[in-house]
Each structure stands twice: as C-alpha cells, then as structure tokens.
Structure 1
Amino acid sequence: MTQNGQPDYEATVERGLALATDLALRAGTILRDRLDAKRQVVHKGVVDLVTDADHASEALIWEGLKAVFPEHRMLGEEGSVGALATMAEQPFGWVFDPLDGTTNYAHRFPHFAVSICLEHQSEPVVGVVYDPMRDELFAARKGYGATMNGQPIAVSHTGELVQSLLASGFSYDLTERASQLVLWEHFNNRTQGVRRAGAAALDLCYVANGRLDGYWERPVRPWDMGAGVIIVREAGGVVTALEHDGFDLYTPEALAANPAIHRRMREAIATVTGDTKPT
C-alpha cells in the first residue's frame, strides 16, 4: 500500500502477472485432463453452453485471486463477482474466462483457452492466455512487451488487406448473425481468408504473434477479450472500437490488428456502415 492507503501500482501489477500465470496454467491442466472424460453440459441459451469443466476452472481461478487480492473487483464469465467496490474505491479489477471456447470444448474440438486479465480503472494492464492443448502461454504486462512461452512476440508486418488473414466470431444470439455476416462477407472477399475458430482470446493472441493480421468482433465480452487486448498492444498492435479510436473494456466490441491492417479494416468498416470518415 502507498501512504494514502491506495495499492502500489507496480507491485500489484507485477504480483498480478505472476499469480495470473500460475492460475492459468493450473486451470488449463484441469481443462486438458477432462477433455476426453465424461462431462456435464448445460445450455445457458439455445447455443450458449457451460460445462462442469468451466465451473472447476472458474473455482480454482476465483479462489486463487480472492486469496491474494480479496479487495479487488472481480468478474468471471460464469457468475463470480468479487468485492462490491466501485472503480473509484478500488481501481484494480479482474476479468477472466475459465474456458474460452466452451462450445469447442463440449464437442472435444481442441481449441480453447484460459484467459485472465487484470485491469486498472478499466484499462487492461496484465493479460495471460493459456492454450493447454498446444501448451502455449501468452502473457503481457503494460510497458513490458508480450511473450509466448517466455519469448518476445510481435504483430505481423502485413500491409494490405489482400495479403492478410483475419478472424472474427459470431454472437450466441442467433438473430444477430445475419447482420454480422455483412462484414464477414466484405472481408472474406478482400483478404486471403477469414477464420472463425471459436475462442476470441486465442484470436487476439494470434494477432499478437503474427499468425493472424487482424481480428474484429461485436459483441465480445470483457472476459473474452481483456487479456488479449493488452497482449496485442504490447506486441505492437492496435486495439480500438470498430468505428472509432476509443476502446472500453466494458463495451462489447473490439478491432485488433497490426497498425497498417487496422487502418485498412477501419476504412473497410466505414465503407460498409456508411461512415466514410472513420475517427
């Protein structure tokens, strides 16, 4: 704590990165070990699923965060809510997805991850994403760069949409998918391809290490994108809203890419939406 009783920023962020890394690895082990076992799958919506593995992973993360940072705000996808403090009262908050890619997991499709983000006044400052099937750990701390398995990573140098590979996702609300296909079709016809792999956290990490050149999604939830946002930024990428330069973790949209492709994607989105002057 500082003299005025506020948490020490650098110490909290450093400790938070170490804790998030440990919890992501342990939670990922749970998911990997249970993938081929009998499991319980519950429908939260028509196509929105949750498994017992989600709950086991979330319990581990929740208990681990609460033990070290009981005063922090916390928000997990499956309902965990931490200290009932306002952002003014407690500047640090955790948003995490114990299993990003639940639908994949429920079908034993091996593409999913654990995503843990520490935000400071809603700005992501620590991000850890762990893919247990590939044993790939993506991590970033604001101002310190991004890594995969401890090695520095950087976004691609692709400069034109026609040279790019993009990714996106679709809403669990089936009524929204037709409108989402408008942008999908636009980009699919102007790039080398658009991928929909079903785990936003990994899409963002793949932008960060250059496997993808850009990503967009609306809606996307804070626990899905929080960790990936800081990882992309620390890898040299740009993350904003789809149609303006601002970004709010708690507004459900994100456009992430290397700087050149980000500009091209914004221009394309403006053309599709009718806003010819992206800002």
Structure 2
Amino acid sequence: MIELSQTAAIILKSYYRGSREQLEVLDKAEGPVTVADKAVDRHLLEGIQAMCGDSCGYLTEESYQADDLELPQEWVWIIDPLDGTRDFIDKTGEYAIHIALTYQHRPVLAVVAIPESDRLYAAIAGGGTYLVTPDGIRKPVRVADGKNLNELVVVASRNHRSKKLIELLARLPCQQQLKVGSIGCKIAAIVEHRADMYVSLSGTSAPKDWDLAAPELILTEAGGKFTYQDGSALKYNRGDVSQWGCLVASTGKWHQQLLDACV
C-alpha cells in the first residue's frame, strides 16, 4: 500500500505541474473534478483490486453514485484520490491522497500522502502512526499535548467557511488559527504539532466518508481523538456518505472541553 500510494503521488505531481487547461476542470455541485482525480482513482482501484479482488467493497469519490446503498462487505476500501481539488487547481500545494480500509464501518488501515512535501503517513489500528520517508524509513509520530486550552491552535479551511462555522469558531476557548487546505493536510498539521484542533460543521453539504476515514485513523493512532460532537465514534459506509453534524478532531487532552464548546 505504501508503494501504491507513492506512485499515486508521482502521478498527481505530474498533473500539478501542468496547466489548468490540461486538468480539464469540471465544476460539480460538490466541488471541482479534474483528469488528475480520475487518473489516480483508476490507478489506486486497479492496484488494490489486484490484491483483494471481490472480497472487499470499494467506495471512492470518483466511483460513488448518489443512489448507492451501504456496501454489503464487512471490509470496505474508502478512497479519495485527490483530497483538496480546489487547492490542487489553485496550486497551494495543500492536497492529499486518502486510502482507508474499514472493517464493520471503522477504519483499520490508513494512508494519507501529501505529494508536494513528500510526506506519507501510515497507520494500522492498534499499531500507531508512522511518517514514511521517500527512502522507506518509518518514524513513529505522536500528537503534542502540553499546551493549555487557550493556547491551542485551530486548523481551519480557507474556502469552506460558512457563517455557522465562523460563529462556532468564535465561541471556542482557543482563538489562534492556522489556514490549511485539504482535510488530510489539516490532520497532518495536528500530528506535526503545527495545530491542535479541527472542527467540521455541515451546512448545505458535509464532508464525505472518503474525506475523513484515512485522516481519522492517522490522528487517533498518533494519540489524538476524532469524534462526533456527542463523543461517539465516526462510522463509515452507512449508505449516506455525508458526515452530517459537528465533528471535532483534537490532540485529545482537551477533547471533552472542546466538544462542550461546540454545542
């Protein structure tokens, strides 16, 4: 899976260095799609299906249809070939690849690759999170938890900032913010000690399973927490891929206090 993710990153980087016209951007209701999204989606699906065949289900951003139901398999791969397509188009460098294997609606294996910085995070449930260097060295990573509540840095979006979310962020006991693109890059900022919290609040739309499954496991296996506002665990492959409501990710130490502030 590491090698497959690395080759997917190479494909994205090649498209990233091309022109907007070469990306063939198609604007959809849920956001833009490019030929890069589709190429990496094919690459990842072909690679994973060659390993797993029909024993698993496959849920990807590019293959999902609005009328799809919950996949019947216990083991389901959830894939976002290009998380942060808008940042990819705008060339901020803050885009990522998400790959997660879920078992009975929960992630058990995850990779989040950030091509422009050559960073790749991998996690297995119960096995911790590792930064995998381009030459294959694995370095364990852990979140930082030494700050006071008012010192926490909230990582937030540049683009997806509804009035409700702005009002919620203003109520938090911590007011320092770091603006970052894709959700994968946001969670990477937390495990890299550049930020301490992320909050998602749905409005007319919501993050999808493929936005969250891989980043969640990367964070939680590094010692953090990622839950719904009521403290319950996130669930995937439930038929509706949208993750409605308020979701909070943090380094863990102040997680309950942050959940209480989001009511």
Both structures adopt the same fold (TM-score exceeding 0.5) = yes
What residue in structure 2 maps to residue 184 of structure 1? Answer: 169
| Partner Cα separation in structure 1 for residue 148 and residue 259 of structure 2 | 12
Amino acid at match of 1:37: G
| Partner Cα separation in structure 1 for residue 26 and residue 69 of structure 2 | 31
| Partner Cα separation in structure 1 for residue 140 and residue 254 of structure 2 | 21
How far 1:248 moved relative to its partner? Answer: 1.8
- Among 242, 250, 262, the alignment partner of 2:255 is 262
Check whether the contact 2:169–2:175 (CA below 8 A) recurs between aligned residues. no
Normalization by structure 2: what TM-score? 0.84
Amino acid at match of 1:222: D
What residue in structure 2 maps to residue 200 of structure 1? Answer: 183
What is the number of equivalent residue pairs in this alignment?
242
For the pair 1:247 / 2:245, whether they are aligned, the reply is: no
Amino acid at match of 1:220: P
- Among 85, 88, 98, the alignment partner of 1:105 is 88
- Among 41, 65, 74, the alignment partner of 2:25 is 41
What residue in structure 2 maps to residue 156 of structure 1? Answer: 144
Deviations 1:2-38 (A, max 9, x none): xxxxxxxxxxxxxxxxx2x222111111111111212
Structure 1: which 5+ runs fail to align? Answer: 1-18, 271-279
Q: Which has the higher strand share?
A: 2
Normalization by structure 1: what TM-score? 0.79
Could you say which structure has the larger radius of gyration? 1
How far 1:86 moved relative to its partner? Answer: 6.3
What is the percent sequence identity of the aligned residues?
25
For the pair 1:70 / 2:53, whether they are aligned, the reply is: yes
Secondary structure of 1:146's partner? Answer: strand
Select between 127-136 and 33-42 the one with higher mean Cα deviation: 33-42
Secondary structure of 1:125's partner? Answer: strand
| Partner Cα separation in structure 2 for residue 22 and residue 151 of structure 1 | 17
What residue in structure 2 maps to residue 16 of structure 1? Answer: none
How far 1:254 moved relative to its partner? Answer: 2.8
What is the CA RMSD across the aligned residues, in angstroms?
A: 2.3
